[in-house]
Structure 1
Amino acid sequence: MSSTLFRTKRVEQSIADTEEPEHALKKSLSALDLTVFGVGVIIGTGIFVLTGTVAKDNAGPAVALAFVVSGIACALAALCYAEFASTLPVAGSAYTFSYASLGELPAWIIGWDLVLEFALGTAVVAVGWSGYIQSLMDNAGWTMPAGLGSREGADAFGFDILAAALVLVLTFVLVLGMKLSARITSVVVAIKVAVVLTVIIAGAFLINADNYDPFIPESQPVDAGGSLQAPLIQLMFGWAPSNFGVMGIFTAASVVFFAFIGFDVVATAAEETRNPQRDMPRGIIGSLIICTTLYVLVSIVVTGMQNYTKLSVDAPLADAFKETGHPWYAGFISFGAAVGLTTVCMILLLGQTRVFFAMSRDGLLPRFFSHVHPRFKTPHRPTILLGVIIAVLAGFTPLTELAALVNIGTLFAFVVVAIGVIILRNTRPDLPRAFRTPWVPVLPVLSVCASLWLMINLPAETWLRFAIWMVAGFAVYFLYGRSHSRLGQQQAEAGRGSGATP
């Protein structure tokens, strides 16, 4: 039984499957498109919200260092993703990588994990987008009916029609094709980056150097508590956590990791890239470098404009400009945040459908969803199904309490991909690798350690919810996926053909 659970799919077979006419996706993306996709999905709620939260509660002006620490952890993972994406340019990202290196059951686990990560991520961002739009409407004197607005903090029954509408519109765009999606993303990312650069340039003239003193505030103990809301590492070792100081920077790094989620989504588009061996590493690493630089600069500017103890936790960038007497910039930033979240939502939805499509093509999910549209060459069936489900989820559910699941799911994928790089280097040293992760196995091991460290700093409650989702995944695999596996069926047929017992 163990041999079937850990059967691996050869890289050559994975690439050959992409050439089947009924499963072939249109190749239209360049390195620039991939970089734009990466920037489009990474720059979102993190830069517009988390900067104020972690500066005020965890790190003070040293929040810039927290972004550096988190960026380094992501960079380690990005190098591993770049090698896999250039070696195995197939839709599915970490799921496909795991199938080639670790085996079918680990691949299913990571695929099931990514389905959760991208679905919740899309819904959370859609709800956040709805909140920004409603804020802009309120400023203009327009008010949404209570039953059709955001569900965050709402007691009565209602439906967030704006969040649901956004998901459905983006679903339609993704069905029409990747090139259209790339064009829309390029325009929106240009607006978003312009807003971020405006914050950096305009804010630099409003910096008060006194606000940087102290740059690393003195450490302050925090009540450890004993509930499931406490970080897992605290419950494991009985540590009394502290805010600020050097440890506060690492705590902040665990929080601002949310701001980096997204570069891994770029790898899901490998199959739709014209020259994936060359362009995938450029898109993944390039987008991460750009976003890390912007994050650090924005955090330096905003903590210099306003004392960290007075920063807003809801809209720190916009409110910092208000407090310095420049409300026009605040409105411009709010507009940019609303526009920017559009691409985040679309690219997360893109990643979700590509993982689902890859799992379906392998037979682990119903093969009905693995056929592409005859005209647009997109996986329209899973796109429509998942779009409708996520639209309903975003419309009815306040999802902020589940947002941490997005984080743990991403970090789990990082761990698996890093381990996969080490294993595939040893089992298939003959594979052509357009990009090679440096210092293997040292760098992948460091990536695993960094991701695990951030994971155990998440609340125990998040781990419990994640475990429940994984148990459900095991049930689906053993009840359906294992018996319908395309690889398993091919191996069984080969065994019968050679006279062997399947």
Structure 2
Amino acid sequence: MSSTLFRTKRVEQSILDTEEPEHALKKSLSALDLTVFGVGVIIGTGIFVLTGTVAKDNAGPAVALAFVVSGVACALAALCYAEFASTVPVAGSAYTFSYASLGELPAWIIGWDLVLEFALGTAVVAVGWSGYIQSLMDNAGWTMPDALGSREGADAFGFDILAAALVLVLTFILVLGMKLSARITSLVVAIKVAVVLTVIIAGAFLIDGDNYDPFIPKTQTVEAASNLDAPLIQLMFGWAPSNYGVMGIFTAASVVFFAFIGFDVVATAAEETKNPQRDMPRGIIGSLIICTTLYVLVSIVVTGMQHYTRLSVDAPLADAFKDTGHPWFAGFISFGAAVGLTTVCMILLLGQTRVFFAMSRDGLLPRFFSHVHPRFKTPHRPTILLGVIIAILAGFTPLTELAALVNIGTLFAFVVVAIGVIILRKTRPDLHRAFRTPWVPVIPILSVCASLWLMINLPAETWVRFAIWMVIGAGVYFLYGRSHSRLGRHQETTLAEVEKGDGTGTA
């Protein structure tokens, strides 16, 4: 039984499956498109809110160093993703990579994990987008009824129609084709980056050098949390994090790390890239470098405009502009945040549909969902199904408590991909690797360690919810996926033919 659970799918077979007409996605993306996708999904509201919040609560002006530390940690994972995406240019990202290196059950588990991660991520972002739009509407004198708006602070039960509408519109765009999606994403990302650069340049003229003193504030011990709200590391070892000081930089790094989540989604588009061997590494690593630079610059500006002890928690950058006599920038920042979340939502939805499509093509999910649209060459069936489900989730479900599952799911994928790089180097040294992760196994091992460290800093409650989802996924695999696996059926057919041949030969 164990041999069937860990049967691997040859890279050559994965690539061959992409050439079947009924399952073939259209190749239309360039390195620039991939880089834009990466920037589009990484840069959200965090650049306007998280930079100042973490400076106030965790690191002071040294938050810029925290972003550098997190950027380096992400780069470790990005190097592993770049090697896999260029070697196995197939839809599915970590799921496909795991199938080639670790086996079918681990691949299913990581695919199931990604489905949850992208679904919750899309819904949470859509609700956040709705909140920013409603804020802009309120400023213009238009008020959404509580029954049709965000539920936070509302007494009546309602349906967030703006969040649901955003998901459905983006679903329609994704069905129409990847190139159209890329063009819209490019336009929106251009606006978003222009807003960020404007904020950086304008803020640079308002910097007061005295606000950087002290650059690394004195260490403060954090009061230990209790029960399942506490980080897992605290329950395991009794260790409590500290704010400020050198250790505060690393505490802050574990918080701001999640502002970088999203570059891994770029790998799901490998199959739709014209030259994935060359362009995938450029898109993944290039987008990470751009976003790290922007995060560092914004953090320098916000802590220079206002002393970190006076930064607000809810809207630090906007309030910093108000404090320096430029209140109109608050609306400008809300506009930038709303624009930014549009592409985050689209690309997360794109990533989920590609993982679902790849799992369906392998038979682990119903094959009905593996057929592409005859005209647009997109996986329209899973796109429509998942779009409707996520729109309902975004409309009805309070998702704030579940948002941490996105973080643990991403980190789990990072761990699996890094391990997969080491294993595939050993089992398939013959494969052509257009991009090779340097210093293997050192870089993958460091990536695993960094990801595990961040995982155990998450609340224990998140681990419990994640474990429950994984148990449900294992049940689905044993009830459906294992018996319908395309690879399993192919192996059974091959074995039957061999046995038949042996029987004929001995007759």
TM-score bin (small chain): over 0.9
CA deviation map 1:365-402 (0-9, x unaligned): 11110000001000000000000000010111221211
1:132, 1:391 → 2: CA distance? 17
- Contact 2:151–2:160 (CA under 8 A) maintained in structure 1: yes
Provide structure 2 residue ranges, at least 5 long, that are not aligned to the other structure: 489-496
| Displaced runs of 4 or more, over 4 A | 491-499
Cα deviation for residue 496 of structure 1 reads 10
- Matched residue count: 499
Partner of 2:499: 493
Shift in Å at residue 152 of structure 1?
Answer: 2.6
Say if 1:257 and 1:407, in contact at 8 Å, map to a contact too: no
Paired residue secondary structure (1:89): coil
Q: Structure 1 CA distance, aligned partners of 2:482 and 2:194?
A: 49
Q: Shift of residue 497 of structure 1?
A: 10
Structure 2 CA distance for aligned equivalents of residues 246 and 498 of structure 1: 74
Q: Cα distance, 1:224 vs. partner?
A: 0.7
SS in 1 for 2:455: helix
- Please, what TM-score do these two structures have when normalized by structure 2? 0.96
Deviation per residue, 1:302-349 (Å, 9 max, x gap) = 011011122122222222111111122222121111111100000000
Deviation at 1:297, TM superposition (A): 0.6
Q: Deviation at 1:62?
A: 1.0
Contact 1:52–1:314 (Cα < 8 Å) also in 2: no
Aligned partners of 1:498 and 1:360: how far apart in 2?
36
Distance 1:15 1:311, change over 3 A: same
Aligned-partner Cα distance in 2 for 1:456–1:168:
35
**Pair 478,497 (structure 1): closer, same or farther in 2 beyond 3 Å:** farther
Moved more, 40-49 or 305-314: 305-314
Q: CA deviation at 1:153?
A: 4.0
Partner residue in 2 for 1:448: 448
CA shift digits 1:40-73 (9 cap, x unpaired):
0000022122112211111111111111111111
Q: Cα–Cα, structure 1 residues 89 and 498, in superposed 2: closer, same or farther, change >3 Å?
A: farther
**Residues 199 and 317 of structure 1 are in contact (CA less than 8 Å); yes or no, is this contact kept in structure 2?**
no
**Larger deviation: 308-317 or 469-478?**
308-317
Check conservation: 1:60, 1:215, Cα contact below 8 A: yes
Query: Structure 2 vs 1, CA of residues 492 and 283 (structure 1 numbering), >3 Å: closer, same or farther?
Result: farther
Q: Which residue of 2 aligns with 1:169?
A: 169
Tell me how large the CA RMSD over aligned residues is. 2.0
TM normalised by structure 1 equals 0.97
Change (3 A) 1:162 1:2: same
Partner of 1:98: 98
Query: Deviations for 1:210-238, whole angstroms, at most 9, x for unmatched residues?
Result: 11111111111122132111111111111
For residues 422-471 of structure 1, what are the alpha-carbon distances to aligned partners after superposition, in whole Å with 9 as ceiling and x for unaligned? 00001000000000000001111001001111111111111111001001
Change (3 A) 1:492 1:190: farther
Q: Distance in 1 between matches of 2:504 and 2:378?
A: 38
CA contact 2:164–2:395 (8 Å) conserved in 1 = yes
User: Displacement of 1:495 after TM fit?
Assistant: 10
C-alpha distance 279-493 of structure 1, shift in aligned 2 (>3 A): farther
**Deviation digits for residues 151-200 of structure 1 (CA, Å, limit 9, x no counterpart):** 23444210111000000000000000000000000000000000111111
Structure 1 gap segments, 5+ residues each: none
Q: Is the 8 A contact 1:212 1:304 kept in 2?
A: yes
Distance 1:479 1:56, change over 3 A: same
Distance 2:228 2:240 in 1: 15
Q: 1:147 to 1:26 in 2, by over 3 A?
A: same
Residue 168 to residue 108, structure 1, CA distance change in 2 (3 Å): same
> How far apart in 2 are the matches of 1:277 and 1:163?
36
Give the distance between the partners of 1:154 and 1:255, measured in 2 at CA.
Answer: 29
Aligned residues of 2:241 and 2:251 also touching (Cα < 8 A): no
Q: Distance in 1 between matches of 2:500 and 2:178?
A: 37
Name 1:224's counterpart in structure 2.
Answer: 224
How much has 1:498 moved relative to structure 2? 9.8
SS of 1:228's equivalent in the other structure is: helix
Q: Percent identity?
A: 92
